[in-house]
A and B are shown apart, each in its own frame.
Chain A
């Protein structure tokens, strides 16, 4: 009955992920960030009220922006501390001394962060949708009162405009994209932390990659169009295009908030790219961590 141990066990990954998630939820910084995000999303309604004719727009921009900032921050800060903390606490030796593969350890750690991100994004989304829905209902009632006596078609047009600017299913897809971007950043941070020497180095490097990632699209297009007169410039642009993720693709959220019509297939492709990046960076992290001296 001595069956071979599976190369990758989902059960072990789940155990590590749940343990990581529990550890992360005990951190004060998590509650501080989450509280700050929830306050910002909640207060977006107040901020929106001072903007004439722009209420729902500003509310969506501020809330989605806050979700994006806090999800990204949380992804980077929570992941950057995982490996150094485990080394410092020496728990990594206890775990890896057991029949746990290094890939399982990394996947579990990332899984824990992804669970934390899912919970945070879910909480922020609930607050956001409640605030947006309440404000939308108030505006609909105000508009109905103001348009009493006008032709019904015009009143219906005005109400339809408010509904279009309010709660829509596209917003849910936009939030999924925010989550995918945060997951990508978490995986990238994990990859960097496998060869980083300190926590600070990981955070700073990931922040740099984050900024470069927003310029990657421009560099890539210049490179693909054979722009750049010198060999050095072409090599530089090529390196940026090949090494870094195009994070601008995930900023489709800004246009969704602005009311642009974005096809579901585009959301699916962007989310797919996010998942692919997350998986690939995890594999890269494993490749570095595989035989690393601890």
Chain B
């Protein structure tokens, strides 16, 4: 009888707390704090250990252990394992930007270089194909990282570097550096880098010149060697009248 009354009280309390929990959960989702959903897809992605860790509320610590394991796999240049482990790590802890950044770096920089220099593959075409596949894996990590952390500038910047250094796509690099610069807390050089990259894009010289000139006019702190060099180059390209040009750089 008494236990029955307690069960009823528990249900009544449950009905009272349900909207509160639902509201709090909605607030967590709005802030991107519930990026890990428990379903069979997650179970397949992270394996049994990771799933149990996520269930028991220790996903951060397990993500770190797997990250250390990925570090060991990297030292052994076991790229397939590095990829697998980083997929688990980023699934378990999607709000940690450095995990996404490191995953992309390993794929697009380290694994891709190893692939293109892989002497066990005699056909160069296949080596280049493998290299590009690793670039794409790095890009995918960064894009997913940005979707999970739209408020953090580091991954926008990393994607810009990937376009600049690996794809040699200066237009996209400029676009992503500009996106990084627009996010609060961005590094001060992101705005400069966006303008530098634009200065390498054919047909965008005028726009690049205006941006670099605006930076130059901001004062001494922006007048760095690369900025002066690119500005001089664009003045020549665009035939800027001598009286509007910046002074010659004194060396």
User: A residues engaging B (CB < 8 A)?
Assistant: 47, 50-54, 57-58, 61-62, 64-66, 68-69, 151, 153-154, 157, 195, 210-211, 214-215, 217-218, 220-221, 224, 241-243, 246-255, 257-263, 266, 269-270, 273, 276-277, 280, 284, 287-288, 290-291
Q: How far is the CA of A254 from the CA of B33 in the complex (A)?
A: 9
Q: How many residues of B contact A (CB 8 A)?
A: 52
CB-defined A-B contacts under 8 Å, sample of 14: A51-B67, A54-B98, A214-B54, A218-B37, A243-B11, A243-B14, A246-B21, A246-B24, A251-B59, A261-B31, A266-B31, A273-B20, A280-B13, A284-B10
Residue of A nearest to B37 (CB): A218
User: B residues engaging A (CB < 8 A)?
Assistant: 2-3, 5-6, 9-11, 13-15, 17-18, 20-22, 24-25, 27-28, 31-34, 37-39, 54-61, 63-64, 67-68, 71, 93, 95-98, 102, 151-152, 187-189, 221, 224
Query: For A270, what are the chain B residues with a Cβ–Cβ distance below 8 Å?
Result: 24
The reply to whether B55 and A284 form a contact with Cβ atoms under 8 Å apart is: no
The reply to whether A211 and B60 form a contact with Cβ atoms under 8 Å apart is: no
Q: B176 CB to closest chain A CB, in angstroms?
A: 18
Q: How far is the CA of A230 from the CA of B221 in the complex (A)?
A: 67
Query: For A157, what are the chain B residues with a Cβ–Cβ distance below 8 Å?
Result: 187-188
The reply to whether A260 and B33 form a contact with Cβ atoms under 8 Å apart is: yes
Residue of A nearest to B92 (CB): A254
Given the interface contacts A241-B18, A258-B95, A259-B95, does A214 sit within 8 Å of B55 by beta carbon? yes
Q: How far is the CA of A224 from the CA of B20 in the complex (A)?
A: 13
Contacts A151-B224, A248-B25, A258-B95 aside, 17 further interface pairs with beta carbons under 8 A come to A51-B71, A53-B98, A57-B98, A61-B63, A153-B188, A154-B189, A218-B37, A218-B39, A221-B25, A248-B57, A249-B25, A254-B93, A260-B31, A266-B27, A266-B31, A273-B17, A287-B5
The reply to whether A57 and B57 form a contact with Cβ atoms under 8 Å apart is: no
Q: A265 CB to closest chain B CB, in angstroms?
A: 9
Given the interface contacts A68-B57, A242-B18, does A287 sit within 8 Å of B2 by beta carbon? yes
